[in-house]
Amino acid sequence: MLPFITATTYLTALREGGSLPGLVEADDSGTYVVKFTGAGQGTKALVAEIVVGELGRRLGIKVPELALIDIDKELGRREPDEEVQDLVKASVGLNLAIDFLPGSVGYDRSFDIDPADVAPIVWLDAYVANVDRSARNTNLLIWHRTLWAIDHGACLRFHHAWGSPEAFARSPYNYADHVLSGRGNPRTVHDRLSAQVSEQLLDEVLELVPDDWLLPDPDRPDPKAPPDAAAARAAYRTYLAMRLAAAERWLP
Specify the residue, 125 or 151, whose C-beta has the smaller distance to Mg ion: 151
Among 106, 163, 182, 252, binds ligand ATP (CB under 6 A): 106
Residue 60 binds which of Mg ion, ligand ATP, none (CB < 5-8 A, kind-dependent): none
- Asked whether position 100 contacts ligand ATP by CB under 6 A, the answer is yes
Total number of residues shown for the chain: 252
Among 5, 24, 33, 124, binds ligand ATP (CB under 6 A): 33
* Chain contacts with Mg ion (rule: CB under 5 A): 139, 151
- Residue 211 CB, nearest distance to ligand ATP (Å)? 23
- Residue 100 CB, nearest distance to ligand ATP (Å)? 5
Specify the residue, 17 or 216, whose C-beta has the smaller distance to Mg ion: 17
- Residue 251 CB, nearest distance to ligand ATP (Å)? 26
Question: What is the SS3 assignment for the chain?
Answer: CCCEEEEEEEEEECCCCCCCCEEEEECCCCEEEEECCCCCCHHHHHHHHHHHHHHHHHCCCCCCCEEEEEECCCCCCCCCCHHHHHHHHCCCEEEEEEECCCCCEECCCCCCCCHHHHHHHHHHHHHHCCCCCCCCCCCEEEECCEEEECCCCCCCHHHHCCCCHHHHHHCCCCHHHCCCCCCCCCHHHHHHHHHHCCHHHHHHHHHCCCHHHHCCCCCCCCCCCCCCHHHHHHHHHHHHHHHHHCHHHHCC
Residue 112 binds which of Mg ion, ligand ATP, none (CB < 5-8 A, kind-dependent): none
- Asked whether position 30 contacts ligand ATP by CB under 6 A, the answer is no
Residues 52-81 that bind ligand ATP (CB under 6 A): 64
- Residue 139 CB, nearest distance to ligand ATP (Å)? 5
Residues that bind ligand ATP (CB under 6 A): 14, 16-19, 21, 33, 64, 98-101, 104, 106, 137, 139, 141, 150-151, 153
